[in-house]
Amino acid sequence: MDTEHAWAAGFWDGEGNICFHGEYSLVMQVSQKHNPVCINRFYEAVERRGRLSQRERKQSTVPGIVYVWACTRRQHILHVMGLLYPYLSQPKIDQFEEHALARGWNIT
């Protein structure tokens, strides 16, 4: 078992999501408040696919810095899912497959 990929799958499974982005693409993302350690570890575990950013939430009930990993490039999402897939829960796999198929992606 690859422990970093398993850890990343658990982190994304619990904290992340995949959703529609624009008319034709998807975004896979995960965010954390206050501390970038887990986001940075996730970024390394998925072989530096996607991008890291941070933003300040001033209008939130809990203001502060939010650290975000996001991936929108199709080939990167497919690569990341290939790394995480063996360790993901079935609901998260179903979420990915539903969104990818709705966009016409060949994921077999």
50-76 confidence digits (pLDDT tens): 999 998 887 777 778 999 999 999 999
Mean pLDDT of the chain: 92
Q: Which two tokens stand for residue 22?
A: 């624009």
Instruction: Evaluate whether the domain defined by 3-102 bears CATH number 3.10.28.10.
Output: yes
pLDDT at 1: 64
- pLDDT score at 63: 79
65 membership: H or E segment, kind and range: strand 64-71
Whether the model pTM is above 0.85: yes
Indicate whether 34 pLDDT > 90: no
- Quickly count: other Cβ atoms within 10 Å of residue 38's Cβ: 17
Give the per-residue pLDDT at 23. 77
Inter-residue contact 107 to 101 (CB < 8 Å)? yes
Gap between the Cα atoms of 17 and 72, Å rounded: 12
Residue boundaries of the structural domains of the chain: 3-102
